[in-house]
Chains A and B, each alone.
Chain A
Amino acid sequence: QKEVEQDPGPLSVPEGAIVSLNCTYSNSAFQYFMWYRQYSRKGPELLMYTYSSGNKEDGRFTAQVDKSSKYISLFIRDSQPSDSATYLCAMSANYGQNFVFGPGTRLSVLP
């Protein structure tokens, strides 16, 4: 079993839809969880980060962590064509180190 798993997609949704992106992981020591967005031929950029379990909201984005199920989610409300990108989850057990990435989910938001 890979340490972090993510459905690679592609996931296609119409503009305005609510998007749900998910990752599962196997290492119970992970406690810092991040979502990155990567446009084609660009470096990943941080969207959201959370510590331990719970929800965090930032504009149209909501991150959820369920440590008991080893499951994290990113929700995008009112999706836009500009949200079309690959979304990578990442996690680590300690401050600022040893980030492990999921393989990414490719999202297409169709106008």
Chain B
Amino acid sequence: DTAVSQTPKYLVTQMGNDKSIKCEQNLGHDTMYWYKQDSKKFLKIMFSYNNKELIINETVPNRFSPKSPDKAHLNLHINSLELGDSAVYFCASSHRKQWGAEAFFGQGTRLTVV
């Protein structure tokens, strides 16, 4: 039973298109994140939501918009895709007030913009 699941796993699309990546967690966590991992494998946080409220919004282009319909879901919508958006996007979740504070990651969505 997958704890954090993202769809799709692979996404190949043309420049200028709009695409969405979905994420769901069944761990009962109250905080969810989107991370971007570039070609050098560096994981960088993009957004964080706690109980459907945006709490972190790093310097990310406005073309990226997270949407959290409920605590268990955090989707990422990207408008007007650019070549530089090609990366692996990871969703993660954690429990804000649980000792240990570890984050669990999904398997990633490999986005290729052509």
Q: Please state if B43 and A42 are interface contacts (CB–CB under 8 Å).
A: no
Verify A96–B108 contact, CB threshold 8 A: no
How far does the alpha carbon of A95 sit from the alpha carbon of B97 in the complex, in Å? 6
Contact with B along A86-102 (1 / 0, CB 8 A): 10101010111111110
Tell me if A45 is interfacial: C-beta within 8 Å of chain B: yes
Q: Considering the complex, which residues of chain A in the window 22-78 have a beta carbon less than 8 Å from any beta carbon of chain B? A: 32, 34, 36, 38, 41-46, 49, 51
Whether the Cβ atoms of A96 and B101 lie closer than 8 Å is yes
Q: How many residues of B contact A (CB 8 A)?
A: 32
Q: Which of A51, A94, A99 has the most CB of B within 10 A?
A: A99
- Give every chain B residue within 8 A of A94 (Cβ-Cβ): 101
Contact present for B41 and A103 (CB under 8 Å): yes
**Chain A residue with Cβ nearest B4:** A43
Chain A residue numbers with a CB within 8 Å of B110 are: 41
In the complex, the answer to whether B41 meets A104 with C-beta atoms within 8 Å is yes
Given contacts A43-B108, A95-B96, 8 further A-B contacts (CB under 8 A): A38-B41, A43-B106, A44-B105, A51-B99, A88-B43, A95-B98, A97-B101, A99-B45
Residues of B within 8 A of A (CB): 4, 31, 33, 35, 40-45, 48, 50, 55-56, 90, 92, 94-108, 110
Residue positions of A touching B, CB distance < 8 A = 8, 32, 34, 36, 38, 41-46, 49, 51, 86, 88, 90, 92, 94-101, 103-104, 106
